[in-house]
Amino acid sequence: VSGAKNAALPILAAGLLATEGTSKFYNVPKLSDIKTISMLFESLGVKVDYKPEENTLEMDATKPLLTEASFEFVSKMRASVLGPMLAREGSAKVAMPGGCSIGSRPIDQHLKGFEALGATIIQDAGFVEARAEKELEGSTIFFDFPSVGGTQNVIMASCLAKGKTTIVNAAQEPEIEDMINFLIKMGAKISGKGTSILEIEGVEKLVGAEYTIMSDRVEAATYMIAAAATKGDVLIKGAPYKDNVALVSKMREMGVNIEIVDEDTMRVSNKLDMLKPVDVKTLPHPGFLTDMQSIMSVLTLLAKGTSTITETVFENRFMHVKELNKMGAIIATSGKEARIAGVRKLSGAEVNATDLRAGAALVLAGLVAEGTTTIGNIYHIDRGYNDFVGKMKSLGANIERIEEIMAYEMS
């Protein structure tokens, strides 16, 4: 399993806070999103040396940064750069962030946090600007919802603020802990890691550091579910149980064998012709991760009986359903709920990836379907899966990449 996209992006953004020294990151995945953020940083005046084949990235952000992040880069991915830019330079103008179209994805909680620290927010057509007339000052911020990006952005903004900031109802995802670990290595003072209340004591400066990005728990989940769906037996390295407890519990409920080999390795196998149906509800961590629900839905198609998936985090994350139904699935959605009949047999079809995780779900469906499945718009998959085709092939999958140019090389 490669390094985590959703940890790497905020950790690289945190690297913008270093006014002294360079940072070097290891286990950086080869993904188009990492290429995009590198190009964004270069456009701000940061020196970046991204070596995707070596999975390393070095950056030197010590020169003053430009304060405007262009639409060209920010629209292609979702990274929290407004907070660190504001903290560093006292003002920042950023195009509205992109990423997967899985709902309206407002950033009101991020902005509320910056305002509490003393910034003024100006929102205009497609842009948001944050300005601090004087030094940012620590404050107490309550999130209405534990937003992942909001928590990351406000932590970064408050690291260099004067005094103490308290974030109440903070998101607790492992990717946030990973970012906090890096910030602490840079000299930040943050307590409450892994809980819903975080305290950040502002410091004078942060210094570049070396850091190894955590493994991608969604990528691990994808191979775990692929193993179960194809009745395989796969040893997955870079898959810590502690980061995927909800998934392991739900897969075991269905009858899948999961052995926790060591703190970093799991072995997933399945011999059952008929898995048990299951009810899954997505929630903020430690609940079931929304990024895994489309992939999990493929496994529930192989169960005997009806499963339900309730999506509570994003309002529009069932776009894969129409595509799976083209392959013989019987999935009915109503509002936040999808009811999935265990059809136990799928047929190959021409389908389209509608977002990153939906794309992975279609690959898994294609692996279990009879006949050939052709998947379009695979640039979505390139945003988040390092060498998906190569790794699947090494497990015995019959899969070819038809579109030869990776989104990575195009960007």
- Judged by the rule CB under 6 A, the positions of this chain that interact with ligand EPU are 6, 9, 78, 99-100, 103-110, 145, 147-150, 171, 173, 289-291, 313-314, 356-357, 384
What is the residue-wise DSSP string for 270-317?
---SSBPP-EEEB-STTSB-GGGHHHHHHHHTTBSSEEEEE--S-SS-
Which residue's CB comes closest to ligand EPU?
149
Q: Which of 22, 152, 161, 33 is nearest to 86 (CA)?
A: 161
* Interatomic CA distance for residues 359 and 276, integer angstroms: 25
For 162, phi and psi rounded to 5 degrees?
-80, 125
Q: Are strands 210-212 and 23-26 parallel, antiparallel or unpaired?
A: parallel
Tell me how far, at minimum, the Cβ of 82 lies from ligand EPU, in Å. Answer: 11
Record the tokens describing residue 386, joined without a space. Answer: 């390092």
Tell me how far, at minimum, the Cβ of 83 lies from ligand EPU, in Å. Answer: 12
Tell me how far, at minimum, the Cβ of 21 lies from ligand EPU, in Å. Answer: 26
**192 with 158: CB under 8 angstroms?**
no
Q: Among the residues of 16-162, which ranges form H helices?
A: 32-44, 71-74, 82-89, 108-116, 148-158
Tell me how far, at minimum, the Cβ of 128 lies from ligand EPU, in Å. Answer: 11
- Which residues are catalytically annotated? 100
* Interatomic CA distance for residues 70 and 79, integer angstroms: 13
Beta carbon nearer to ligand EPU, 148 or 213:
148
